[in-house]
Amino acid sequence: MVVRNIAEATAFTTKDGSTIRELLGIPTAPVRNQSLAEATLAPGQATERHYHRVAEEIYYIVEGTADLEVDDDRRRVGPGDAILIPPGAWHTIRADAATTVRLLCCCAPAYTHDDTYFV
């Protein structure tokens, strides 16, 4: 059994500009098919618009509100919202000016910088 507390996770910045703390993924756990991380965006911060060629992502908003775009479909998202981002879908998320956004990000297969692509 692998149990990892968020307090043990070291924060780092992904290629898209978000700050994440990986809970379970490569190289933090012996996962084979997925990863789980907490991502944080400061008030007004946005990720750079990007896509993943291989990974399917699920975002689950824990705190804050944001504008999300997935392949030109724009939505307002907040706590309790779960969003599917298919492989190859261009996406970005921008936190509201007055709120920090925290979300859980699940990737299958596990997240790697090498699977993040920009324009």
Domains of the chain in sequence order: 10-115 (2.60.120.10)
Q: Give the pLDDT score at 102.
A: 97
- pLDDT tens track, the chain, 119 positions: 999 999 999 999 988 888 999 999 988 899 999 999 999 999 999 999 999 999 999 999 999 999 999 999 999 999 999 999 999 999 999 999 999 999 999 999 999 889 999 97
Q: Give the pLDDT score at 67.
A: 98
Write the CA distances from 114 to 10, 12, 65, 79, 111, integer angstroms. 20, 15, 29, 29, 9
Q: What global pTM score does this model have?
A: 0.93
Tokens linked to 14: 């992904």
